[in-house]
Chains A and B, each alone.
Chain A
Amino acid sequence: GDSVTQMEGPVTLSEEAFLTINCTYTATGYPSLFWYVQYPGEGLQLLLKATKADDKGSNKGFEATYRKETTSFHLEKGSVQVSDSAVYFCALSPLVGGGNKLTFGTGTQLKVEL
């Protein structure tokens, strides 16, 4: 079945540091890929997405590129802020069928310090 593997956290960075959160997936065909963010005490918000190979999703300074050859969708940001502290989830949705159910990774907690 489909699966998503994320790097374990917590990841602790200083403000303005470069961020990478690794995500790799196993799926049949060409799934859509997502990054969701969860701030403390809140629900999940879509951060960015990519629907086909080599697509780059971007939002709020975050980027991720759909790499089919390495089955990866790593999240990057050039300069993190304290306000980026949250839990980040990588997820995939199959291309067709199954109600487009999302399969999530276990989440990576990011802590940004001054």
Chain B
Amino acid sequence: DAGITQSPRHKVTETGTPVTLRCHQTENHRYMYWYRQDPGHGLRLIHYSYGVKDTDKGEVSDGYSVSRSKTEDFLLTLESATSSQTSVYFCAIRAARQETQYFGPGTRLLVL
């Protein structure tokens, strides 16, 4: 299994509070991704990173920001959580010149 961990694994928060999710890898892969999974939508890309301090938006980036200060960590921040951000969040990693992405175990977020 690819060395990917996500923390926390479960979180309950209130509307309007900031939330940060962490993805940590031990594979030294260049690319890291954040997706959200919702019924009827599959997985949708929020943001991705192609190197330290290099990030770009995905298709559902509104309300989210990311940071990558070192290769192994990719943080996803909800600046002011809303109920529409209740979801399961998955991190993925990919090595350069490879097609396959490997996924973490997910973080289940409930915004009340």
- In the complex, the answer to whether B99 meets A89 with C-beta atoms within 8 Å is no
A100 touches which of B58, B99, B102 (Cβ 8 Å) = B99
Bound Cα distance A4, B45 (Å)? 14
Bound Cα distance A32, B100 (Å)? 9
Chain A positions 9-65 with a Cβ under 8 Å from a chain B Cβ = 32, 34, 36, 42-46, 49, 51
Q: Is A106 an interface residue (CB 8 A)?
A: yes
Q: Is A104 an interface residue (CB 8 A)?
A: yes
Least CB separation from B45: chain A residue: A101
A-B pairs under 8 A by CB, number: 53
Contacts of B35 in A (CB 8 A): 102
Contacts of A32 in B (CB 8 A): 99
- In the complex, the answer to whether A106 meets B40 with C-beta atoms within 8 Å is yes
Interface range for B: 20 to 34
Give 12 new A-B contacts, CB below 8 A, not counting A44-B103, A102-B43, A104-B43: A4-B42, A34-B100, A43-B104, A49-B100, A51-B99, A93-B99, A99-B33, A100-B94, A100-B99, A101-B33, A102-B101, A105-B42
Residues of chain B at the chain A interface (Cβ within 8 Å): 31, 33, 35, 40-45, 48, 50, 56, 58, 90, 92, 94, 99-106
Residues of chain A at the chain B interface (Cβ within 8 Å): 4, 32, 34, 36, 42-46, 49, 51, 89, 93, 99-102, 104-107
Q: Closest 7 A-B residue pairs measured CB to CB?
A: A104-B42, A43-B103, A44-B103, A106-B42, A104-B43, A32-B99, A43-B105
